[in-house]
Amino acid sequence: MTIRTPNTQLKNLVAESGWTYNAVAAAVRAVAAECGVTLRTNKSAVEHWIAGATPAANTGRYLAVALSRRLGRLLTPHDLGLAAAPDDDDSMGLSLEADPLDALIPMWRCDIERRQFLTTSAYSVAAAALPLTHVTDIAERTAAAHTGHTIGMAEVTAVRDMIHFFTEMDERHGGAHGRSALVQYLRDDVATLCRARFRTAEARSQMLSAASRGVHLLGWKSYDAGQQGLAQRYYLQSYALAVESGVTGHDGFVMRTMAMQGLKIHRPEHCNALAETGLNRAQGKVDPATEALFRIVHAHTLAKAGHTQRALTETETAHTLLTADQGDDIPFWALAWGPPAASVYSRTAKVHEALGDHQTAATQYARAARTRPQGTYARIVALDLVASAEQQLKQGSVEQACATWHQALDHMTGVRSARTRKALTRLRTDLAQFRNRDIRPAAQLDQRARDMLRTTS
């Protein structure tokens, strides 16, 4: 007979949370659902854990995330008195250390190995606030390690070219394509270059910025795969590299991305602060089109917070900046999603969607899709069109929505993306109400979506 030792650490943390056991179980189920896992955790399960039982599979990690959110500080299964596998450090990537490469190198190893504790990790509200309080004195940083090889702008250009190649592959074919290759390139080539001897301080700065852009792309690929916790960890380390690079506006741009992620997954706790702080890091210091990218995300966070007039004013400012743009060079890091204008239009649509203006939202999503280079940005064009169709349907324009959805599906061929699959599933759900009403365009579209889901499974 196995004698269990009561888990006093977990008992004390649950008591501190003020939750009932039913509330704990509900929170665990909610975190698991964010990771695509359906659990049936109930009050009895929580009682068993406190009595000394070990939660099955990844449930302990979901419990740690739930309690972290409730208590406002980062907790791991170890903190809860739950044993983790020796090499599974749940806090990996969720802090801002002196050298971000020290955090990234073990993350890359685990990512290549598809370690479950990392790829199924949940989003951390506590970690989302880290960039808001992170202060780094670049002057006190240790100089780059001397490797015997001197790096200049030619190597920086080569890294940028390679990351641009991975970015185009990602947009054309989805985040699943080339992910392992990108991890290996960053680990084996870029990390070594970042720790090399540099000819100039500017070369070192631009190399770290390029590395940040590559890690940011890994975060985006993880996001596209529905791995929100892993995406957040990469964004945090991308931010740390951007801070160390000292390139004006780059750290703010990553904060902007983190705000976008929080809005998307309905974790708005720090989104407005991230967007506003990011904007403050760039305002008046970057070209008008790039500043517009910051302002429109800030507008979205304002709209989600119910600040209607401020959101509309900030949106208008973003569009004015686009008009005022004199063709200045866009920073390499600001081209993560292609031409700034298309990103501004797409985010403008989200502002109006949040404010309940479905007609303007549909128009702006369609405008964003038209503005993007069609051959390269297949996935994001498809998603903009899907969003436009959804807004059209909310206005009661069924046939128009079906026509727009068909255009979206045209762009999805060959794309491997959890987000496009989710869009197809959502499309079929939206069409369910029309299946028995003999609306031919809806029936045809539903069949096409079903076929695409079958072939991409």
Check which CATH number belongs to the domain holding 343 and give it: 1.25.40
Q: How confident is the model at residue 181 (pLDDT cuts 50, 70, 90)?
A: confident
382 and 353 belong to one structural domain: no
pLDDT bin (cut points 50, 70, 90) of residue 148 is: very low
Asked if residue 280 and residue 166 are part of one domain, the reply reads yes
Question: Average of pLDDT values for 127-133?
Answer: 74
Say yes or no to pLDDT of 373 above 90: no
Same domain, residue pair 209 and 345: yes
Among the three residues 328, 362, 396, which one is the final residue of a domain in this structure? 362
Query: Is the residue at 401 inside a domain?
Result: yes
Are 321 and 243 in the same domain?
yes
**Residue 92 belongs to a domain:** no
pLDDT over threshold 50, residue 366 = yes
Q: For residues 107 and 39, state if they share a domain.
A: no
Average pLDDT on 1-22 reads 89
Higher pLDDT, 453 or 455: 453
Quick one: 174 and 305 in the same domain?
Answer: yes
* Residue 117 counted as domain residue: yes
Q: Rounded mean pLDDT of 414-427?
A: 88
Residue 259 burial (CB count, 10 A) = 29
Whether residues 237 and 125 fall in one domain: yes
Banded model confidence at residue 45, pLDDT cuts 50, 70, 90: very high
pLDDT value of residue 456:
64
SS3 151: strand
Report whether pLDDT(218) > 90: yes
Looking at residue 118, its pLDDT comes to 67
Q: Do residue 345 and residue 371 come from a single domain?
A: no
- pTM strictly above 0.75: yes
Residue 80, in any domain of the structure: no
Q: What confidence score (pLDDT) does residue 88 get?
A: 61
Residue 82: inside a domain: no
List the structure tokens of 202: 């500017």
Same domain, residue pair 305 and 404: no
Highest mean pLDDT (candidates 36-45, 85-94, 99-108, 164-173)? 36-45
Sign of CA dihedral 217, 218, 221, 227: negative
* Same domain flag for 147 and 226: yes
Is there a single domain that holds both residue 348 and residue 377? no
Q: Is residue 425 part of a domain?
A: yes
- Average pLDDT score over residue span 356-369: 97
User: Is there a single domain that holds both residue 343 and residue 367?
Assistant: no
Task: Summarize pLDDT for 332-345 with one digit per residue, the tens.
Answer: 999 988 889 999 99
Domain boundary (71, 89, 116) is at 71
The structural domain count of the chain equals 3
- For residue 83, being part of any structural domain is answered with no
Per-residue DSSP letter, 145: P
- Boundaries of domain holding 61: 8-71
Among the candidates 335, 362, 389, a domain finishes at 362
